[in-house]
Structure 1
Amino acid sequence: MGSFCSFANNLNLVEINLTGKCFTWKSGNSMRRIDKALGSCHWFQKFPQLSLIGLPKRPSDHKPIVFTAEEPNWGPKPIRFVDIWWSWPKFNKVVKGFWSEISQSHTSLAVKMKLPRHKLNDWNKNVFGHIDHTISTLRWSIDAWDNVAENRALSESELEIVQQLRSNLRSSSSRSECIWRQKSRIS
């Protein structure tokens, strides 16, 4: 470890503060910050908006860390029909309802073809659920409970809540995998 410290000191590297987490590894009741990142003053000047963030714990015993910066806004994303939508109860009726509403109010075929995209996009976000947001929210909730568990033992009812959150995360992750599987086949 001494040679690594000498190496870091010779290059004037400093440890980058981790935000959002105290620890990056947990096994049983043991918690440690074993994952770290170093940077130089030149690097900090070149990339002033970068920060190191601790992410929610995944199935592994490590909590991943990631460098982040402000992301550009590329505008609205196009919508593609997602196969997993068919698993939603009454989705067929939803599509028929959209088409019936559009058919009655517009005569142009171009408009009729454009509007379902907007309606499906709204339906996907508001009813089906934006899967990435759902997964992010579930991970955030599980992570919040993990943070509580770092300071005290959870009660039985709290453990049940965490178990339900993890179950919902598995289900949502499975839906996300179906979506990504379909996207991987789109060229």
Structure 2
Amino acid sequence: MLMGDFNAVLFNHERSRGRGTSVLRGDNAFRNCINQCQLVDLGFNGAPFTWRRGNLFERLDRALASYDWRVLFPEALISYFNPLKSDHCPILLRLRPDQPMRHSRRPFRFEAAWLTHEDFPNIIQNGWNAKDNWIQRIGHTKKILMDWNKSSFGNVFYAKQRLLRRLNGIARELFLGPNHFFGETLVQAMV
């Protein structure tokens, strides 16, 4: 299985606006290579184009596999995401998309943002001053910090995921072509 930026398209509908003969020659060589190696494109979920420069949109990023690999992983799914700080979309390969991703319990981590909050010294002092041995104090302080974090800062991971989903939706619409709803200023800001 091969996955990444191939700098060529397989089909004409994978390019929107702009054509050059050197580009088409590269596309033909790419098609020939895929045919000779007997590879299949795994398809995708997400925006139809993975790269953009100006008004030119192309699907340059993809996953290709042999027939034997595809038989081993028939449910494999490719997803494209918002390119945030790149001119290419990130790619995610899930071998078994029907199985939910396991989210193991996250270990306790000290967050640097806590230091900026005016209540932090009091939270530490209240958590540590329990009349227990030091192992119990650590557990007690950890619980107090986690509860305080949730009430003071909220679930930043959920908020981040929600924003990323919204950005992916916007990027998907922008990759489909000009969108008068978003306006040209937003389109230029994303580039």
* TM-score, normalised via structure 2 length: 0.63
- Give the strand-richer structure, 1 or 2: 2
Aligned 1:88-99 pairs, distance under 5 A: 88-99=117-128
The CA RMSD measured in Å over matched residues stands at 3.2
User: What SS does structure 1 have at the residue aligned with 2:49?
Assistant: coil
- Tell me what 1:50 maps to: 76
Q: Distance in 2 between matches of 1:44 and 1:123?
A: 48
Q: Is residue 127 of structure 1 aligned with residue 156 of structure 2?
A: no
Shift in Å at residue 132 of structure 1? 4.3
Percent of aligned positions that are identical: 24
- Tell me what 2:16 maps to: none
Long gaps (5+) in structure 1: 167-187
> Counterpart amino acid of 1:84?
A
Shift in Å at residue 126 of structure 1? 5.0
Q: Distance in 2 between matches of 1:89 and 1:29?
A: 48
Q: Is residue 31 of structure 1 aligned with residue 57 of structure 2?
A: yes
Aligned 1:129-144 pairs, distance under 5 A: 129-144=154-169
- Tell me what 1:185 maps to: none
- Give the helix-richer structure, 1 or 2: 1
Aligned length: 156
Q: Is residue 86 of structure 1 aligned with residue 115 of structure 2?
A: yes
Shift in Å at residue 94 of structure 1? 3.3
Q: Is residue 67 of structure 1 aligned with residue 96 of structure 2?
A: no
- Tell me what 1:14 maps to: 40
- Tell me what 1:113 maps to: 138
Using a 3 Å threshold, how does the CA distance of structure 1 residues 74 and 29 change in structure 2: closer, same or farther? closer
Q: Distance in 2 between matches of 1:136 and 1:74?
A: 14
Using a 3 Å threshold, how does the CA distance of structure 1 residues 8 and 30 change in structure 2: closer, same or farther? closer
Shift in Å at residue 54 of structure 1? 0.3
User: What SS does structure 2 have at the residue aligned with 1:79?
Assistant: coil
Given that 1:55 and 1:65 are in contact with CA atoms closer than 8 Å, whether structure 2 keeps it comes out as yes
> Counterpart amino acid of 1:65?
I
Q: Distance in 1 between matches of 2:110 and 2:62?
A: 41
> Counterpart amino acid of 1:153?
H
Q: Distance in 1 between matches of 2:36 and 2:140?
A: 62
User: What SS does structure 2 have at the residue aligned with 1:36?
Assistant: strand
- Tell me what 2:31 maps to: 5
Q: Distance in 1 between matches of 2:50 and 2:85?
A: 13
Higher RCO (CA < 8 A, seq sep 6+):
2
Given that 1:16 and 1:37 are in contact with CA atoms closer than 8 Å, whether structure 2 keeps it comes out as yes
Name which of structure 1's ranges 32-41 and 118-127 shifts more when overlaid on structure 2.
118-127
Name which of structure 1's ranges 63-72 and 39-48 shifts more when overlaid on structure 2.
63-72
